[in-house]
Amino acid sequence: MFSEKIVQNLEKSSWIRAMFEEGNRLAKIYGADKVYDFSLGNPFGEPPIEVQQSLKRHILSGELGLHKYMSNSGYPEVCEKIAKGLEEESGVSLKGENVIMTVGAAGGLNVVFKSLLNEGEEVIVFAPYFVEYGSYVDNCGGRLVVVPADTSTFQPNLEELKRFITPRTKAVIINSPNNPTGVVYSEEGLKSMAAILEAKEMEYGSTIYVLSDEPYSRIIYDGVKLPPVLGIFKNAIIVNSFSKSLGLAGERIGYIAASSNIEDVSILMKALAYCNRTLGFVNAPGLFQRVVADSLDASIDVEDYKVKRDFLYDNLTRLGFEIIKPQGAFYLFPKSLIPNEVEFARTATKYNLLLVPGSGFGCPGFFRMSYCVKFDMIKNSIPAFEKLVKEYR
């Protein structure tokens, strides 16, 4: 009656959403202030004032044609502005023609995979990884190949990468700052990865694209610098959104930017625009293209996230949790106190703690916590963690 594949996927639906729904159930029983929900990466706080002012200005301006169709790639002047910013950051020459405006990063990734993948071609990802990658690749007839995690650092496992590249490898996904660990991939490691990919391309006579999923690129702490992916990989494609950097998750606005060094990049850009249309997106939301173009230099309050990170990290490590301190994003990825982190997460619900098991990210034995929540909730959760730890110590 229905798609067998979709029904099977529903049966193993995302742990993130499952824990979020459990949080709603517990809130009805105990009250929302007694439930400590660290499950969902929903940006905290409102968009910056620049976003609000731009939105108000465009709505009240009387500007004609604001809500009409435009090119499937987006408004040319918006694409040009984004391209200029990326060029300044990376040193790689970019034009507006190298940018496609998309319905968020999720829409952008689906557009890229539809444009690149032939049936059965492989996309490599490093564990732990955002679980929806598998569905996006599968949507387009590809196969996701998972490189096991280096749990000592959560940097990409490059020795393992060499073993997983085959003649059918079409792309490698990198996500830095990473969801779920908050780790920023090192420039040295990314340059080593580029050398590995170039050698494999020579060996197989193929092209391997590097897809950099960067929704957390503006949420970085302690002076850490994000290496410029466009300047490191010849065949780099950036997929980004303003969901996290401007607190606009519900507005679904993002972009794809392809390196001008890619062979036949003009054909790729035409394919991306075509898939933007035929996947049903047609074009990115027109009003919010204007708004983000006005707000490219704005940002949410990263210091607020840093305070929450430090408070949680200090308290959880005090209680005995092993954690690699995040350099970006708004997640912690502690090691479970028992090998079966699913059982650990279930036990945590006894204390109204909502944690996401690491197996949902391809990395069992750990769990994810999203700290884009109110500070009071974080502070009030510590006694619950203390009770949880007593069950195992």
Angle (CA) 121-281-362 rounded to 5° is 45
CATH of 4-47+301-390, one of 3.90.1150.10, 3.40.50.920, 1.10.357.140, 3.40.1080.10: 3.90.1150.10
Residue 179 carries which side chain, given as an amino acid letter? N
In order of 191, 210, 305, 313, the CA distances from 146 in angstroms are 20, 15, 30, 28
Phi, psi at residue 385, to the nearest 5°? -65, -40
Phi, psi at residue 101, to the nearest 5°? -80, 140
Q: How far is CA 51 from the centre of its chain?
A: 21
CATH 3.40.640.10 occupies which residues in the chain? 50-294
**3-class state of residue 41 by DSSP:** coil
**3-class state of residue 229 by DSSP:** helix
Q: How far is CA 21 from the centre of its chain?
A: 21
Q: With CA atoms as reference, report the closest residue to 334 among 353, 357, 351.
A: 357
CATH 3.90.1150.10 occupies which residues in the chain? 4-47+301-390
Position 6 scores a pLDDT of: 74
Strands (E) in 103-208, as ranges, are 122-126, 143-147, 169-174
224: tokens are 């850490």
The arrangement of secondary structure in 50-294, i.e. its CATH architecture, is: 3-Layer(aba) Sandwich (3.40)
Position 297 scores a pLDDT of: 93
Strands (E) in 26-110, as ranges, are 36-37, 99-102
How many CA atoms are closer than 13 Å to the CA of 51, on its beta-carbon side? 19
Position 172 scores a pLDDT of: 98
Position 22 scores a pLDDT of: 67
Position 25 scores a pLDDT of: 73
Position 5 scores a pLDDT of: 74
- Mean pLDDT, consecutive 10-residue stretches, the chain (393 aa), reads 71 62 66 82 87 95 89 97 96 96 98 97 97 94 97 96 97 98 98 98 97 97 96 98 94 97 97 97 96 94 96 98 98 97 94 94 96 95 97 85
Helix (H) or strand (E) holding 24: helix 15-30
101: tokens are 């405006």
Position 272 scores a pLDDT of: 98
